Amino acid sequence: MKAALVTEAGKIPVYGDFREPVPGDDEVRIGVTAAALTHLTKGRASGSHYSASGSLPAVVGIDGVGRLADGRRVYFFLPEAPFGSMAQWTVTKKERCVPLPEELDDVTAAAIANPGMSSWAALTQRAHLAAGETVLVNGATGTAGRLAVQIAKHLGARKVIATGRNPTALQKLGAIGADVTIPLAQPKEDLEAAFKREFANEGVDVVLDYLWGPSAEVLMVAAAKAGRDGVPIRFVQVGGASGSNITLPCAVLRSSALELRGSGLGSIPLESLVGATREMLQAAVPGHFQIETQTVPLTDVEKVWRTAGGAPRTVFLTG
């Protein structure tokens, strides 16, 4: 079969031939139709992500959309190594397949599933968002952050505050649910003042952080200085687009009710991630979730691998 293959550590995937998968016990074989390129996919392919297997050669791709032997359309994730989603065929455990609603097309489903599940799981499983609460999305101009704004509103958030480094993209978030926007490209003292106003006024119940790095530091300091005494602020860390490390004064935690939590592979049970994915995909069309996509034939994987992966979401077509 044809597939996108990593043959050497540190090299970009190449389009080539690989053996067809044979399903084992409790596995299903899937005829893949679409697979999206995500930062997690790139990280695992390069070996830099903590969940990478390191076994080569291997087919890249952690999730996708396809059909089972009986014709049912499914979203699937975590294929069994060395098989991945960017191939004509793959195999995965039965419990890692989620039926797709008829009204959700293959390309949109492949593009929205991973970032949408990430936001949905973070808000429902880790933040335990309740209707009427206020959510601050740090890093809302990326694909996952844009979905987080929409999903928070769909789940009943009274107010959504969005931050971003791209001023043009930030301005557009009001149309999809952001009530307040805060540009990150401003002096540190001004940024802290903007955060403090939000924490001091009506308060913030949940912070969903896709950036980490300097903006997360400023956010937590502002929460400690201006947050309401004794009222918890659930800070859920999801991504590290601005860096993997921060400097956090210990007094920030002692002087506030800030609760630090992570959301990702390992912090949420697999069955809960499957459930979050199913719920999000069922809500995608009635919730009018928007995601920008571009389709690319799998034959062009080498041409676009280095530059693709952000917005719009690149979706490889395997047919």
Q: 138 and 86: one domain?
A: no
Cα–Cα nearest to 100, from 69, 67, 122: 67
Is 182 found in the same domain as 58?
A: no
What is the domain-level CATH number for residue 9? 3.90.180.10
Does this model's pTM top 0.85? My answer is: yes
Asked if 78 and 198 sit in the same domain, the reply is: no
Residue 273: inside a domain: no
- pLDDT for 54 equals 56
Segments of the chain scoring below 70 in pLDDT: 46-54, 309
In a domain, residue 276? The reply is: no
Give the residue numbers spanning the domain of 78.
Answer: 2-103+285-317
Q: Are residues 194 and 306 in the same domain?
A: no
pLDDT of residue 40: 77
Identify whether residues 146 and 55 lie together within a single domain.
no
The answer to whether residues 134 and 256 belong to one domain is yes
**296 and 210 fall within a common domain:** no
CATH number for the domain harbouring residue 156: 3.40.50.720
Same-domain pairing of 31 and 74: yes
Same domain, yes or no, for 133 and 217? yes
**Are residues 130 and 231 located together in one domain of the fold?**
yes
For 252-280, write each residue's pLDDT tens digit. Answer: 999 999 999 999 888 999 999 999 999 99
Give the number of domains in the chain. 2
Residues 38 and 133 placed together within one structural domain of the fold: no
Are 87 and 198 part of one and the same domain? no
